[in-house]
């Protein structure tokens, strides 16, 4: 028996709560209970929306592109693409020129508020390794 069953159409879409976001990307929280599975978001971006360069300190992130073209660091990824990033690895900015819908899955120390803007932090990390 399943512990949780949702239809995306039954879950409210809310503005993406990520700092320094441009445009109006929305999220649906499909799972936030790490006891029954990974954290899971459905994210919808319209053409020109931007999610700033960022990292997640305690969790890995997997994206699966459902519709449209997802652009990360200038590289275009079509529907059907799966992407992974380890905890602490900076990634983004994310944008789209067609609109895109994708799933974002988080594993490890799942905390859906673990979104840290890279600006300033990444530069300090690079200076420490120089």
pLDDT at 122 over 90: no
Quote the pTM value.
0.89
Domain boundaries, the chain: 10-129
Nearest to 88 by CA among 68, 108, 104, 70: 108
Model confidence pLDDT, tens digit, residues 36-95: 999 999 999 999 999 999 999 999 999 999 999 999 999 999 999 999 999 999 999 999
Nearest to 62 by CA among 35, 43, 40, 32: 40
pLDDT at 96 over 90: yes
Nearest to 117 by CA among 53, 58, 59, 61: 53
Q: Where are the alpha helices (DSSP H) in the chain?
A: 121-129
**The pLDDT value given to residue 116:** 86
Distance CA 22, CA 26 (A): 11
**Cβ within 8 Å of residue 19, ≥6 positions away:** 52, 115, 117
CATH of 10-129, one of 1.10.3720.10, 3.40.50.2300, 3.90.550.10, 2.60.120.10: 2.60.120.10
Q: How confident is the model at residue 110 (pLDDT cuts 50, 70, 90)?
A: confident
For residue 89, the tally of other CB atoms under 10 A from its CB is 11
Q: How confident is the model at residue 108 (pLDDT cuts 50, 70, 90)?
A: confident
Which of 3-7, 39-43, 118-122 is predicted most confidently? 39-43
């Amino acid at each position: 028996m399943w512990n949780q069953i949702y239809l995306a159409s039954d879950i409210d879409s809310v503005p993406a709560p990520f700092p320094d976001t441009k445009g109006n990307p929305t999220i649906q929280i499909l799972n936030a209970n790490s006891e029954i599975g990974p954290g899971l978001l459905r994210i919808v971006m319209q053409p020109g929306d931007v999610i700033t360069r960022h990292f997640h300190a305690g969790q890995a992130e997997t994206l699966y592109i459902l519709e449209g073209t997802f652009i990360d660091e200038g590289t275009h990824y079509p529907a059907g693409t799966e992407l992974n990033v380890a905890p602490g690895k900076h990634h983004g900015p994310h944008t789209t020129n067609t609109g895109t819908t994708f799933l974002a899955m988080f594993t490890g120390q799942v905390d859906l508020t673990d979104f840290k803007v890279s600006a300033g932090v990444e530069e300090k990390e690079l200076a420490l390794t120089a």
